Structure 1
Amino acid sequence: MPQIRPISDLRNNFTEISRIVHEGKEPVFLTKNGYGDMVVMSIEQYEALQTAKRIDSALLEAQQQAESDPTRLEFDEVSASLRNRLAEKVGQTNT
């Protein structure tokens, strides 16, 4: 259940709000004059949100690229190419 609190609780009950966002692993929604104003969340929650956003963006880009390019590669081809590129990179760092 989302926590909805008045913005004054941020000042008056900061420790409690901090505990809620860290232990409950849920954001706290703050209101001002009865309307939504801010969301407080832990850094872990924020980073997870950003990671999900980057993954969604990468998947959308891949989907758009797949729709615009009819070329399809076999898994073995891609895997071999990646192994070769990795071996080249490792070889460059060892010299």
Structure 2
Amino acid sequence: MPKIRSSADLRNNYNEISTFCHNYAEPVFITKNGKGDLAVMSIETYEALTSRFELYVKLQEGLDDVAAGRTRPWKDVKAELLNHWGRE
């Protein structure tokens, strides 16, 4: 269940909200005048989230390459790598 707090709570209980974000690695949703306004999370959670998005982008690029036929047989790649590193 998402944690929802008001902007006044953020102002008045910053340390409590910060501790929650660090302990549970999830965002706290901040409301302003009763409506959603912000999502607050620890830097560690933010970095993990953005890293995951970057991974998804790379995976999608790979899937797009496969769908478009931009691939090479493994035996060719393996031979090229072995040749490059001097192990035939």
Give the TM-score normalised by the residue count of structure 2. Answer: 0.83
Give the TM-score normalised by the residue count of structure 1. Answer: 0.77
AA aligned to 1:8 is A
Alpha-carbon distance in structure 2 between the residues aligned to 1:4 and 1:83: 55
CA spacing shift, 1:33–1:82, aligned 2, 3 Å: farther
Report the number of matched residues: 86
SS in 2 for 1:26: coil
Aligned to 1:25: 25
Alpha-carbon distance in structure 1 between the residues aligned to 2:47 and 2:83: 33
CA spacing shift, 1:83–1:38, aligned 2, 3 Å: farther
Unaligned 5+ segments in structure 1 are 89-95
Alpha-carbon distance in structure 1 between the residues aligned to 2:34 and 2:82: 57
Aligned to 2:59: 59
